[in-house]
Amino acid sequence: MKRIAVLVAVLGAVYFSGNGYLMNLCVVTALFTLPALGLSLLMGYTGQISLGHAAFVGLGAYGSAILCKSLGLNPWLAIPLATATATLAAWAIGWLVFRLRGHHLAMATLAFGIIIHVATVELKGLTGGQDGLSGIPALSFFGYAMNSDAAIFPFAWLVCILGIVLAGNLVHSPAGYAMRAVAESEAVAASIGIAPDRLKRRIMALSGLYAGLGGALYAHYLGYISPGPFDVGFSVRLLLMVALGGFAGIWSVLFGVLFVVMTSELLKPFGNYDVVLYGVLLVVVMVWCPRGLLDGLAMLWRGGMRMWRGAQAAR
Amino acid sequence: MSEGDCLYASEPLLRVRGVSMRFGGLQALEDVSFEVLRGEILALIGPNGAGKSTLLNIIAGALAPTAGETHLRGERLNGLGADQVNARGLVRTFQGAEILRNMSVRDNVVTAGVARCGSGIATGLLGLGRSRRALAALEKEADRHLGTVGLSALAGASASTLGAGQQRLLAIARALATGAELIVLDEPGAGLNATEKGYLAQVISGLRASGKTVLFVEHDLGLVGRLAERIVVLDHGRVIAAGRPDEVRADPKVIEAYLGNTEIVARHGPGAATRNGGTLLGIEHLSVRYDGSLALDDVSVRVAPGEIVALVGANGAGKSTLLKAVAGAVPPEAGHIALDGRDLGPIATADRVALGLSLAPEGRALFGSLSVLDNLIIGRYGRRRAAGLRELLSPSVAEREAERETLELVYGYFPKLRVRSAQAAGTLSGGEGQMLAIGRALMNRPRLLMLDEPSFGLAPQVSREILEALPKLAAGGVAILLVEQNARAALQIASHGYVLVNGRIAAAGRSRDLLDDPEIARTYLGWDGADTPAGASAAEPRLRVVG
Amino acid sequence: MTVELTAELTALAQYVASGLVVGSIYGLIGVGFTTVYNVTGIVNFSQGDFASLGALGAIGLIAAGVPLPVALAIAVLCVGLLGVLIERVAIRPVGNDVLRGIIITIGVGVALQGIAVLVWGTDAQPLRAFSGEKPVNMGGVTVPPQAFWVVGTAAVLMMLLWLFFTRTYVGKAFRACAVNAYAAGLMGIPTRAMRSFSFFVAGLTGAIAGVIVAPIALMQYDSGIFLGIKGFVACIIGGFGNPVGAALGGLLLGLLEALSSGYLSSGYKNAIAFVVLLAFLFVRPSGLLGELEAVKR
């Protein structure tokens, strides 16, 4: 509860400061946090792997956009429908791939991710191909259209905070214990009455829900989508966001997302350094700080303090 | 533990009928049938490879049998998944305890109650009263179960900090939390010391007192003797005996199954003389910790040059660990290992090979996709490398000669290998594979050859053939440290023997004396639980030096 | 009638030819995957990037004035050494944790791509063909001379590797390590050095694949992703862990791609690889020839 209060306070400060740059960063962070949360639940807590999560974000985005443009649906209706589509797709893919393990599973998820991405490019009639879809209507609240950073800021963060709260609830509920059991040993989980396959599929569906919702909101926020952002690179960036946060830690996911969004911004003027940084960071974090960058830095700090104190004592 | 203690009408809780299991060409279980009566403690025992783990996996739903059925309270179990079997009232623990290390001790037990608590993902997300209340109830239950097994003090600690004994107790607490009536324990005493086993026995008796039924697989027959009301004995996938402990202990079929009944024709010469020829391998007061528990405790073994020493013991006694420690694959916690007076402690495995040590590991560990000849010449890697890096790329004439000579030597001992030299090692029969494993170990011209259970998985005639070849090797100047479950056969070809029980040497002496000793079966099997405390006085293992 | 038939056959032969060329590359990449997997149990998701880096490195050296053969040799060698470095720094500390290993190799791949972008930018880079551009006409089928380099080099390299692994002592020791590292250690074989060596070979084969295909298919910083995936699919088709399977799987995949590209649509060319991948993963995960051996850990 305290953390939410702090978060709201910080957000409030940003909002009322009127700083366009910061507000934009925050909105983007909110929209990326949703799929990252979903991935964290799947990979961090349930121990599975998904290298194609960008596809679910894309399904949500394109689904909602197409429903609005082709069927003229109201965004408030299109978004839940698109999210449901992404959820269903995730469940189905889970049903297919979770019989696999290890690198087979990783490759299968990668393959599905790329297939969906290729479909968005090739099904030009539906998705507009490489040109994408423009003119996606913004969400409007009693005539007030949320098509600017300032306008969508409160709503985006409302949804995001709701997502964080729900995920946090899940993790601390009995189901959360079941997830962690399945992550560590499916045989043990089964021996105590937990059905691993069913749980994995359901969590996959849930993570698809989060991703699809994030994608749908993104589409209506930006007003325009193209296949580009929903490729393998985005899946890897989602992976990085979750890894930096230590895979399992609802609030640390927020840190991971913020870190990636900020470094991406800060490095823009220098050219393409962000890709190298992400790759190196991924390796560094996985090798030395599997519990997250913050945790790793904390360990470094503690180690440094110990050495310093030791030197002091020696004197 | 008399019959009178059982107050319930003896109705069967678990029925196993005609269970058979076939893995490809291997018949792991054949027509196994028995019952577990409500409220009793039943032990499932048998030598290594008897099929106990397979049977347990079938009962627990982790494996579907090729034939046969299992019923719990009349309801069919086989064909259900492991989680469904658990829902019906059967819970199993695992050989390695398999606690969830990423959680606290209490959380491990809480997780076991999750499946029945009625709060799933949807309620979990909402986080309203229901999931909170469910969790609180689970935590209270967990503390109660932890109290039953005596781990209350550690409830908040991370499960990864637990020692072996505590892990087993946690596994039992976790099993209790599932609410199952039939508790199936897989080697609950493995890796525990005497005190821990005593405590474990108390806990298991307590389970029965509270109305549970217990089926447990165990190698420590001392523990079995103290706890079990009935015993079922498996050997080579078949039930060979079932009944009360006193009946089973006296059953000659059971003794034979454990000790082996192979009669070796070619006996080794008198052992006494060679003992004074100095010490090639000296193991002194060796203690080794393996996976958190003490696998070897104060073990001393001596091998003189050119002699065959047999190290026998039931499964789990620590025999393999001893060989691994000598080879350098596991570090000792205490004690010394010396080869020809030279302390091996700081020397790495590859260098020990260069010093004249060779190990043919358990399960043969052949390089299946390489040919027989390639397996053999690869066996010589250590020698070649020791002669210089260039030898690996382009061997000198001297090295080539030495290799050829050694090959001829090996073919001399095992002519079948010459015939099959171009064949892939994976296509060899069991006996031929074992010959290859030994031949490969000989290629480095070791002074000490260590064999880890060469007769495992082989038919009696084949294992006899292998074991009979060993004295010929010894005559050629190679000392042999032979680890075997087939005690009788091993002691017949060896000059000296050691009996290892639960990580300690329980008997030692000239092998002929050990064989003639009428007590040897009891010592070997360990029915009396020589290492478990009896009442107030903890009985020390009676080390009997025979002859 | 005969004219149409000949035209049909010629078209088919053309597709087969291009399929063999591409297939050789996939096979080489697959062999790189297999070599590392057999010894370490890890699937190196950055294998494809060895190819792109090798090509880009050669291109850069040539642009700096280094003669072609020397540039190729240096680039290939450097990528091989890079592989050793990666094993030492990123792979070895993690041991046998599959999940972490996968993500680490993904990270390595991304880092390599990032370095490629920094050094060579995002544009596709051309490498001139080794022996000229004039297409060779073989009975109606036009083939660029580079195609012979591709198939020829791939065949020679695979032959050399085969000879190494089956005829030399060190090669056999390497295979022993791959089959059972514990037993190999007992014979005194240095298993750690073998791990490094496997990454060296993987880097070498990957880089060679990259440089020989670069004149035909423009290479850029992210060409490695798809090359890696196709190489992985080649391994799955042939049976993971089986080098012969990887080579055959690569050829098969190349042919399937060329045929579907010719007879269906080129847009779905990449999709073919994934459809095949998923088909095998679900129906026959052990591949056509079966996995070499259950990798013992």
Count of the separate structural domains present in chain B: 2
Chain B, chain C: beta-carbon pairs less than 8 Å apart: 74
* Chain B residue with the nearest C-alpha to that of A173: B124
Percentage of residues in chain A with pLDDT exceeding 70? Answer: 99
Lowest average pLDDT, out of B344-348, C66-70, C80-84, goes to: B344-348
Q: In this predicted model, what pLDDT tens digit does every residue of A229-247 receive, in sequence order? A: 898 889 999 999 999 887 7
Domain that holds residue C235: 24-133+144-283
- Flag whether A62 is in a domain: yes
Q: Give B25's DSSP letter.
A: T
CB A257, CB A242: distance < 8 Å:
no
**A232-244 vs A20-39: helix crossing angle, rounded to 10:** 90
| Euclidean distance between CA atoms B362 and B449, whole angstroms | 13
**pLDDT digit string (tens) for C145-191?**
889 999 999 999 999 998 998 899 999 999 999 888 889 988 889 98
Beta carbon pairs, A and B, within 8 Å: 119
> Do B253 and B286 have their domain in common?
no
Residue C213 inside a domain? The answer is yes
Total tally of structural domains belonging to chain C:
1
Q: What is the pLDDT of residues B478-502, one digit of tens each?
A: 999 999 888 888 888 999 999 988 8
Does residue A101 sit within a domain?
A: yes
When mean pLDDT is compared over B9-13, B140-144, C3-7, the highest value belongs to: B140-144
Comparing C-alpha atoms, which of A12, A27, A9 is closest to residue A147? A27
Contact C118, C78 (CB under 8 A): no
Q: Let me know if residue C70 belongs to a domain.
A: yes
* Position B266 confidence tier, pLDDT thresholds 50, 70, 90: low
Closest-CA distance, C284 to chain A, in angstroms, reads 12
Kindly report the pTM of this predicted structure.
0.87
Residue listed under structure tokens 């026959």? C284
Number of folded domains that form chain A:
1
* Residue B273: pLDDT over 60: no
Please report whether residue A214 resides in a domain. yes
CB atoms near residue B263 (< 10 Å)? 11
Tell me the torsion sign for CA atoms C60, C66, C67, C72. negative
| Cβ-based contacts of B124 with chain A (< 8 Å) | 169-170, 173-176
* C251 falls within a domain: yes
User: Is residue B415 located within the same domain as residue B517?
Assistant: yes
Q: Which two tokens stand for residue B96?
A: 């390695």
Contacts of A181 in chain B (CB under 8 A): 100, 111, 114
Nearest CA of chain C to the CA of B364: how many Å? 9
Rounded to an integer, what is the distance from CA A228 to the centroid of its chain? 17
A169, A184, A203 member nearest B127 (Cβ) = A169
Determine, yes or no, domain membership for B158. Answer: no
pLDDT at B539: 36
pLDDT tens, B399-427?
Answer: 899 999 999 999 999 999 999 999 999 88
What is the rounded distance in angstroms from the CA atom of residue A116 to the CA atom of residue A127?
A: 12
Full residue range of the structural domain in which residue B358 is found: 273-546
* pLDDT tens-digit readout, B352-365: 888 889 999 988 89
Highest mean pLDDT: which range of B315-319, C218-222, C254-258: C254-258
Q: Are B376 and B450 members of one domain?
A: yes
User: DSSP assignment, residue B213?
Assistant: E
Q: Is residue C158 part of a domain?
A: yes
With 0-12 / 13-18 / 19 or more C-beta atoms within 10 angstroms meaning exposed / middle / buried, residue A101 is: middle
Neighbours of A87 (CB within 10 A): 24
The H or E element containing residue B226 is helix B221-227
Closest chain A C-alpha to B84 CA, distance in angstroms: 6
pLDDT at B4: 44
Q: How far is A144 from chain C (nearest CA, A)?
A: 42
Considering the domain architecture, whether residues B316 and B376 belong to the same structural domain is answered as yes
Predicted confidence band of residue B271 (pLDDT cuts 50, 70, 90)? very low
Does the CB of A106 have a partner CB in chain C at under 8 Å?
yes
pLDDT of residue B465: 87
CA distance A62 to A79: 10
CATH number for the domain harbouring residue B27? 3.40.50.300
Residue A14 pLDDT: 85
Please report the pLDDT score of residue B78 as a whole number. 85
In a domain, B265, yes or no: no
Give me the domain span that covers residue A64. Answer: 2-231
Cβ-Cβ contacts under 8 Å, B171 against chain A: none
- C108 in a structural domain: yes
Contact A183 B103 (CB under 8 A): no
In this prediction, residues A214-224 reach a mean pLDDT of 93
CB contact under 8 A, A279 and C107: yes
For chain C, the three-class secondary structure string (H helix, E strand, C coil) is: CHHHHHHHHHHHHHHHHHHHHHHHHHHHHHHHHHHHHHHHCCCCCCHHHHHHHHHHHHHHHHHCCCCHHHHHHHHHHHHHHHHHHHHHHHHHHHCCCHHHHHHHHHHHHHHHHHHHHHHHCCCCECCCCCCCCCCEEECCEEECHHHHHHHHHHHHHHHHHHHHHHHCHHHHHHHHHHHEHHHHHHCCCCHHHHHHHHHHHHHHHHHHHHHHHCCCCCECCCHHHHHHHHHHHHHHHHCCCCHHHHHHHHHHHHHHHHHHHHHCCHHHHHHHHHHHHHHHHHHCCCCCCCCCCCCEC
Can you give the pLDDT at residue B543? Answer: 54
Asked if B11 and B61 touch (Cβ cutoff 8 Å), the reply is no
Chain segment C192-215, per-residue pLDDT in tens: 999 999 999 999 999 999 999 999
Q: Where are the beta strands (DSSP E) in B454-514?
A: 479-484, 496-501, 504-510
| Dist. CA B186–CA B157, nearest whole Å | 25
Q: Is residue A147 part of a domain?
A: yes
B255 and B277: one domain? no
CATH of the domain at C216: 1.10.3470
